Amino acid sequence: MSQDSGCAAPSSSPASLTVDAARRLIFDRLTPVGGYERIALRAALGRILAEPVIAPCNVPAHDNSAMDGYAIRADDLPESGEASFQVVGTAYAGRGFSGIVGAGQAVRIMTGAVVPMGADTIVVQEIVQTDGDRVVVPPGQRRGQNLRRAGEDLALGAIALPAGKRLGPAELGLVASLGIAEVSVTRRLRVAFFSTGDELASIGRPLAPGEVYDSNRYTLFGALTRLGCDLLDMGVIRDEPESMETAFREAARHADVIITTGGVSVGEADFIRDLMARLGEVSFWKLEIKPGRPMAFGRLGSAWMFGLPGNPVAVMVTFYQFVQDALLHLGGLTPLPERPLVPAECADAIRKQPGRREFLRGRLSREDGIWKVRLSGAQGSGILRSMSEANCFIVLEETRGNVAPGDAVSVQLFDGLI
């Protein structure tokens, strides 16, 4: 199967799209899939809310202390100078003080404890002086200090989390703080994927002459599993139009999205694009990007299709620049995550011709107080080791030419992306 070969396209083919134009075309066409399910909160990590979470109570439920200290009445504080109070009890978190704080009285209070009736101010324990059952409060206290008011985090009836929100650890804790045991989430996307090529061998057996092990399905398995998709791994499909057509039709019957690797260039055995056009539609198949120039996007029946290149690094670049956000959008995530480009000083010389956006594997580190990035290894589109050793993409825009050591470049961090 031909890989990211850079062969010239037929004259009748559409012009190559820029990265930005291709993303706009994809997201202009996609709409989230329907369907939802109610699941236990502990099973909801990484899932996307299908409906908002409404607060059934105030959070916190009561006025409570933000510090260990003493609860007093602000009316008992003099305009100047210190004040002395009689300590009449203790309020613990989960076990409050049952009486009423009267004039000149204080209650010892722990963090999180309900503020006793009559009190409206907390004085932290570090600044007071104690003498038996009395406590001396220094000047400079303010009414209402060190209190967490009922409903301060969330008021009864407020939207705690909107529909379209992806549930992370903080969101699980927030929902739990409302006493909610189940949430409604969008259904998992069904994704079918397979590799194409007569040269591909399954792992676990010796290679025959001319064969290579199929790594792309394992890369996609990892990326798709992390996104929480339901997967249909269809294995390796040989370079035969009949076999590929059968695989396409089977995948389209069972999946929301079909992802293939290999077979989208212009080699004699590259059938994916033509099959997509005959069985469905092709929106584009060439990009102004490196690596990953031959990438097809279209539709087959009700399933969206992404035909990725065959080279392993090109698969990862195109997946993370196009497919991942498309899957999140189809799954109902709103808004899509922003992945800003951050500036860094390039430590290496990089050769580049203007015209394509290039994604190079880099290693970002702090050196002498400056963020510097260097290439993580050889940049061939079949070399996964340099991808494994990288922590970012060095992104060189279409108009960029050669990069000299010390030049500023843009970096896309893997953290939050991969």
Q: What is the pLDDT along the chain (418 residues), one digit of tens a residue?
A: 333 333 333 333 457 899 999 999 999 999 999 899 999 999 999 999 999 999 999 999 999 999 999 999 999 999 899 999 999 999 999 999 999 999 999 999 999 999 999 999 999 999 999 999 999 999 999 999 999 999 998 999 999 999 999 999 999 999 999 999 999 999 999 999 999 988 898 888 899 998 899 999 999 999 999 999 999 999 999 888 899 899 999 999 999 999 999 876 655 446 778 888 899 999 998 999 999 989 999 999 999 999 999 999 999 999 999 999 999 999 999 999 988 999 999 999 999 999 999 999 999 999 999 999 999 999 988 889 999 999 999 999 999 999 999 999 999 999 988 7
pLDDT of the residue at 285: 87
Domain layout of the chain by residue ranges: 19-34+187-330, 36-59+152-186, 64-148, 342-413
Residue 201 CB-density burial (10 A; 0-12 exposed, 13-18 middle, 19+ buried):
middle
Q: Count other Cβ atoms within 10 Å, centred on residue 100.
A: 12
pLDDT confidence of residue 269: 45
Q: 64-148 belongs to which CATH class?
A: mainly beta
Give residue 12's pLDDT.
38
Give the separation between CA 44 and CA 23, rounded to whole angstroms.
Answer: 29
Three-state DSSP at 287 gives strand
pTM listed for this prediction:
0.85
Q: What is the pLDDT of residue 302?
A: 93
- How confident is the model at residue 9, as a pLDDT? 36
The CATH topology of domain 36-59+152-186 is Molybdopterin biosynthesis moea protein, domain 2 (3.90.105)
CATH for the stretch 342-413: 2.40.340.10
Cα–Cα–Cα angle for 21, 26, 31, nearest 5°? 145
Q: C-alpha angle 173/175/180, rounded to 5°?
A: 125
Q: Residue 203, exposed/middle/buried by CB under 10 A (0-12, 13-18, 19+)?
A: exposed
CATH topology of domain 19-34+187-330: Molybdenum Cofactor Biosythetic Enzyme; Chain A (3.40.980)
275/296 Cα distance (integer angstroms) = 11
